[in-house]
Structure 1
């Protein structure tokens, strides 16, 4: 399935426009191209020596994960774990305190995230799942990190801009504003040297690299860095659209949750938006709704989306939706069975989190002491 996912992603991304040979590429596009080249090199190094890599990634606990999360991030986390890298998954509970609706049931949302990871194949014996709020030393790193970045640098960060633009609050909190520095602490507390990201997150990771670089320059000695500058492993996962043809999102009600029942999945796909053209084709730029269903079906079947579209052909949207429903339910059946098994033992779920918190806390304490020693603040 890894191979087919990569092939599908390549096919999906090949349709994107690229500047012609005589047209200079924008600086940000040059950065993405460089990241793609470097990511290919990193993938080869992972295959050769996976244990040299420590991976940091995570989610905000705002509800159950959906198929967009699975094909976008979860599948890749399990792949990296199974290759032999050391994986740290942060459940960023502090980052949802600005959302009252979510924070009201924070323990429930945290447990749902743990269940989704366990069901997807994240193994707590080989990987560490932990929460922000349980790791005091990680959060203490935020203070020296904030001293290394300016207010304007935080404000220019794309994620902060997006959060501000979409915030339902009357005013943006200081916690939300410091999100990029907090994410740097999530990555650097364990000295992660690899972070899987989409290309839209490259500027975010660059600020983490800037913080590490400045800390090393200011407090390092003898040319020995205090913290690594983590590299981006650019995700090849395609954008999976929701049932309304827009980005799949829990808040938009257009997502198929990993934990959804087979009947609920069928209902959501039956109600998915398509278009008036009967013949099914895979054309993401001009037929996003139909192409989204085709891509979802292809990902679950491990096939090329154009082949899936050709097979359905003139059978129309009803046949496409039937194929998508069957493919999704068959693909998710083992995951859903594992999730139901874990959900019956909430004590085990909480134990996984306690052990992950203990492991992450010990590592964070060591890193914090090293940073304090470098800053000469160990008294």
Structure 2
């Protein structure tokens, strides 16, 4: 049997990985290929999984740890997708706060499962809102040097870097980001794309279709700094049910929740890495998100529906204590629902700081060879 093309697209929290994965999936399906998707999170109830499944994709989720620390779950999840109908392509979206993925995921897949997977070049999406601040060394970059260390290392190990949201940036801003990436990660090709509009995706697909000497940028990584940088983020996944005696506009509710959090987190001087809320009802789904503290909350996917009942999921990744984050999310949810006479029942909340990464496998530079 022919091997499955395995494509992993990395990037920092809020870089646009899910939107990119969805557009790639549609592109491959239009070529007559079967596509499977694997999402990844430190906890269950991931907005990205709900979003992709709501678009009709076959999605497996690796929850509880990143791909590198839960490598066996990654391979077993891909096997389950295979059982459901052998995919030609598997698209994988790793946790946005992870790095060292070439040594702990790409190379182990190549060396241990080379007969099963044909691994594509590893692309990393640059998040412009934090990229400019972190790479230019601004004093108010939003994250500590330890968290910024992760951001920079993600670029360093990439086979190519994608500057996303090109449709929202001027030529001057795109040129500046290209220069900053080149100074941080010399000799790494840079491509400008828009996951929202599809600009640049033809060239992106050409890059992904290449075969050759890829996935060899093994990092010289300080795991103490890496672990401390991840642990600075408060991590929250919350699922809840909203009901009302009269209809409410689902999109307005989820956007209001994100807006209220944007304001309260800014008042607490807590930098947002990413914040997502999805609302689901009877085949309809809407998504609102916030990608940084200095950007606006947006309705990234409209449900265009009114309902008396909906399931909501909130994911928040913020530089703040997890208990304080949970308190702020609960307050925003209750205030937004209360303003519409909507009753809310919180079914589950997971709030924590990520633990120290302990990879299942790690291929060293000496093992890889010169």
Would you call these one fold, judging by a TM-score over 0.5? no
Q: TM-score, normalised by structure 2?
A: 0.32
Specify the structure having the higher radius of gyration (Cα): 1
Say which structure is richer in helix.
Answer: 1
Say which structure is richer in strand.
Answer: 2
